[in-house]
Amino acid sequence: MLQQAIKKVLLLFIIMLLIILPVTSVPSLHAEASKPVHILLLYDSLAKGTSKAGNVEALQRMLATFSVKVTLQSFDTYQKGELDQYSQVIGVHNVPDIAVSNRAFLNDIEEYTGSYLHIGTNAPAIVMNKLRLSLNHINEDTIRLSIDHFSEPSIQADSLSYIVSHSGSSHGLIASRNSDRQSPYGVVGEEMAYVSFFEQGNLSELAIGYVLRDWLGWSEQSSTYVVFKEIYPFSDLIRLEKLADELYEAGIPFIVSVRPVFSNLDYPATKRYLETLKYVQSRNGNVVVNVPVVASTISQLDRDLNKSFELFIDAMAKQGVAPLGIGAEMYWTYDQHYANSGLGLFDTAVLFPNEKLMHKSQVNSSLSFPTSLYSLQLRFLDALEYKETAIADLPMNTAITFDFNDNEQQLVQAVQRLRDSWVTFADLKYGDHTVTTQANTIRSSGGSLYINDQLIDLATAREEVSEEFEYKPKVEKSFERWFNVQNKVFIVIILVTIVAFGGFFIIGHRLYKRKYFK
């Protein structure tokens, strides 16, 4: 009997373990799965003043579209053992004449067991060996670059390495315009990858996306969107509504990146702004909140961005407008202050190129988003040749951006260019996007918008905004009624005096006239 009792207790204990262990292990597995990939991005020079200027920044934005966290660092500041903290590392070499001299990096890279991608010249020996690379270095050449459906016939490339032989999968094709030289644009192996050159402003800016997609093992489908930015409360809202109508009639879904309002949210002008956005939303438009303009005179103010954003988002939600993300220059994601207060409310971002850096607390590691769009202007794609009349997807989520302005002719031309474009544009609300404040949870799924799980009726009529508004509360004044009565009495006395004076003037005129006739 005792043995049977022990067996029953052991059996019960095992059953309890089987029940408890899966439950306790799931959260940790989920947390591990949701943790973004962390990449170390090393560079030898930012190449300012050369054709490669801006390629490191473009690579940072490109990596963000694959939802990775990036730590940016120069080869010179690398310290021993840092490679071991990362499973994937990228090295950008922009200066062909000067090799990396940091002995700590050179020693660590030869022992590195993770995945390494090298861009440019002076590839480490481990990359050359594992990819079985044989390179032919050319200081300057005019090339034709082709990849996927795209090609650009004439690119002036400096410090270019042709790949003579290799192992691994190849991407794209580089062909010299001056000789019979040609080679793959990039090569990806099991552990190492190599890209011959990368510049901003030509097809290599797009081609690097195909290599990164393979190297990162990215399998999610990408989409292309239309974004109109630089929209303010004082913009021509009638023109914005007309633009929405024209895009709707053309069957083109679009996004507006709108500047927020952080005060006077109950003013009629603000309500008209929100009602216009609600109308845009009803015309197959989607709304993202652009970060506020940062000026040097206010960059150090201790404004609570979280609270300010929440107030504006809640005001939008109250009017039936459902923002789905944030629009920002890329440097915002490399600033601890901005990342911790403001950007954390969103899981989707449209990252624009940096125009003017206005950091408050700069860091070298980025904030990553589950969904991020790489912004390009349509003229970039217009300069390319392509094989098909319609292409659905680029290698990464892409935003074709236009600046909204009050020039009707320019906006008409923009719509026409979109009509004639070979790109198939996607509708942002068909993806899963969430914006969360303390009061509201706004999300999209399958083409529908929800505020606190309540489906938004996109056909809801706009509310008319009254011009009557008490901008300042009336202050009760002492003796106001008495003074009003007194003013009226004085007015009556003055009027009677004027009438009497007029009567005397007429009588006097007649008397004088009669005396003159006598």
Q: What is the DSSP letter of 335?
A: B
The residue ranges of every structural domain in the chain are 38-216, 224-455
Interatomic CA distance for residues 408 and 423, integer angstroms: 23
Q: Are strands 192-195 and 186-188 parallel, antiparallel or unpaired?
A: antiparallel
CA of residue 346 relative to chain centroid, distance: 11
* Among candidate residues 276, 283, 302, 291, the one with its CA nearest the CA of residue 333: 291
Is residue 123 a contact partner of residue 133, using CB atoms and an 8 Å limit? yes
Residue 49 gets the label, from left (phi > 0), alpha (psi -120 to 50) or beta, of left
Q: How far apart are the first and last CA of the chain?
A: 155
Please name the residue ranges forming H helices in 319-407. Answer: 336-340, 378-382
Cβ neighbours around 372 below 10 Å, total: 26
Element (H, E) at 374: strand 371-377
Q: Which two tokens stand for residue 4?
A: 């049977």
Provide the CATH number for the domain formed by 38-216 in this structure. Answer: 3.40.50.880
* E strand intervals along 99-248: 115-120, 134-147, 150-165, 169-171, 173-176, 182-183, 186-188, 192-195, 224-231
**pLDDT at position 31:** 34
Q: Can you list the residues of the chain whose pLDDT is less than 70?
A: 1-34, 296-303, 387-392, 460-480, 483, 513-518
Cα(222)–Cα(224) distance, integer angstroms: 7
Residue type, 355: E
Q: What is the dihedral of CA 320, 325, 328, 334, to 10 degrees?
A: 140
What is the pLDDT, as a whole number, of residue 390?
60
Rounded Cα distance between 355 and 56, Å, is 15
Contact assessment for residue 147 and residue 111, using Cβ atoms and an 8 Å cutoff: no
CATH topology of domain 224-455: TIM Barrel (3.20.20)
Q: In the prediction, which pLDDT does 391 show?
A: 64
Q: Please say whether the beta carbons of 215 and 193 come within 8 A.
A: yes
According to the model, what pLDDT value does residue 297 have?
A: 45
> How far apart are alpha carbons 430 and 428 in whole angstroms?
5
- C-alpha closest to that of 132 among 107, 91, 159, 163: 163
pLDDT value of residue 421: 83
Contact 277/287 with Cβ under 8 angstroms? yes
pLDDT for the residue 26: 31
Decide: 316 and 277 in contact? Cβ < 8 Å.
yes
d(CA 425, CA 399): 9
Of 404, 434, 463, residue with least CA distance to 273 = 463
Predicted pLDDT of residue 472: 52
Q: What is the residue whose two structure tokens read 């003074």?
A: 483
Which DSSP state fits 76? G
- Residue 27 C-alpha from the chain's centroid: 30
Q: How far apart are CA 329 and CA 334, in angstroms?
A: 10
Q: What pLDDT, on the 0 to 100 scale, is given for residue 25?
A: 34
- pLDDT of 92 reads 97
Q: How confident is the model at residue 507, as a pLDDT?
A: 79
Considering only CA atoms, which of 333, 341, 338, 343 is closest in space to residue 365? 333
Q: Is the pTM of this model over 0.85?
A: no
Could you give the residue ranges of the DSSP H alpha helices within 111-202?
125-130
Round the CA-based radius of gyration of the chain to a whole number and report it: 33
Bridging pattern class, strands 433-436 and 441-445: antiparallel
